[in-house]
Amino acid sequence: MTPPGLRASVITVSDRARAGAAEDRSGPLAVSLLTEAGFECPPATVVADGADSVEQALRGALDDGARLVLTTGGTGVGPRDLTPEGTAPVLSRALPGLVEEIRRIATRETAGGMLSRGLAGVVDGPAGTSAVVVNLAGSTAAVRSAVPVVLAVAPHAIAQLDGGDH
């Protein structure tokens, strides 16, 4: 169960969606799933592929008070798939078990799930400002299967970041 008032943010990473050449479907789906789970979540932000744009968007979401940030897209092996490279400088500590489970489920759905390079981790800040960040693949199927995994542990992780018991 999500405590009231927890803020989440979704960042879609896609050159095509940013340019208006493709509709962002994964970001709005992630927002909907987070909202249904009790998070306060504004509409998804769409940024271009690339490490710098991802890092800037993540820092902006954290500055705006997000306690959970999901990115969608840019986790594959294409030349512009640099979401993990933009995420790594923001993270204080990794949460490898979270992305391992997301990849395990994705691989059951499609062999391409093994190619996801997404990261998950904690951004340390003063109590009440630390956050969990998770990279998801950009398809709606990936979001639909990964968000429940994130939601299964995110409220507990955020409570621990705030000094709660294990």
Q: Is 68 helix (H, G, I), strand (E, B) or coil?
A: strand
pLDDT per residue as tens digits for the range 119-165: 999 999 887 899 999 999 999 999 999 999 999 999 999 999 999 87
- Please name the residues in contact with 147: beta carbons below 8 A apart, sequence gap of 6 or more: 30, 33, 34, 70, 136
The whole-model pTM stands at 0.96
Domains recognised in the chain with CATH numbers: 8-161 (3.40.980.10)
pLDDT per residue as tens digits for the range 56-100: 999 999 999 999 999 999 999 999 999 999 999 999 999 999 999
